[in-house]
Structure 1
Amino acid sequence: MPRNLARSARVSPYRLFYVIGGLLTALLACTAYWGARWHGVWAYLAAINVTTLLLYGFDKRQASTGGLRVPEKVLHTHAFVGGTPGAFCGQRLFRHKTIKGSFQRLFWGIFGLQLLLIAAWIYLSRH
C-alpha cells in the first residue's frame, strides 16, 4: 500500500475519541434514563462525568505504555460539556495532567466559565 494512502486511511485520534466518548456517554445516559428512571439531566451529567473519568484513566495508561493518546482538546471538550467533576477526579485519581501549566489554566478557565454560567442561570431564573 502506498505510504500516502496508508496515512490517509488512519482515523484521526480526535474523531476516534470524540466518537468513543459520545457513544459511551449516550449509552450510559440512556441506561440511567430508561433503566434506572433517572431524570434526563442527571442521567446525562452522570454519564458525561463517568466517560470523562474513563478517558483520563485511559490516557494515563496510554501515556505509561506509549500507546495512542487521548488528545487534550478531547479531554477539555468533555469537561466543558459537563464533565468537569469527572475531569477533576481523573486528574487526582490517576495523577494525570496535574503539572502541565497550559492544560491546568484551560481546565480552570472552563471551570470558572461554568460557575459564571450557573450563577447567571440561577440569577436570571429568580428575577
Structure 2
Amino acid sequence: MTIDTQSQRAEHSPLRRIFGSVFAILQTRLELIGIELAEEKDRLLGVLFLGLDAMMLATMALIALTALVAIAFWDTYRWQSLAGITVVYAIAALVCALKARNGLVNSPIVFEATLAEFEKDREIFRKP
C-alpha cells in the first residue's frame, strides 16, 4: 500500500509541476495586462483633460476673434466678414477631425507587450 501511494505521488508530481508552471505564467501575464491597462488609462485621461482645456481656450479665443472682426467690419462688409470667419472655422474643424481620425486609425496596439509574451509562451510550449 505504501508503494502504491508513492507511485501515485511520483506520477502526479510532474503533472502538478506543469500545471503549477502554467498557472504561474498565466498569473504573470494577467498582472502584465493589469499594468498595461492602468498605464493606458492614465495616458488617456491626461490626453482627455489636455484636449478639453485646449478646446475651451480655443472656443474663447474664437468668440473673441469673431466679435472683433464683426465690430471692425460692421459698417462696410458685415456679412462678408462673418461668412469668411465661418469658412475659416469650418476648414479648421475639418482639419482637426481628419487629424483625430488619423490618430485613432494609427494608434499603437493595446497590450502589445502582453501579446508578445503570450506568443513567446506559445512558442515554448510548441517545442518538443
TM-score (norm 2): 0.32
Larger radius of gyration: 2
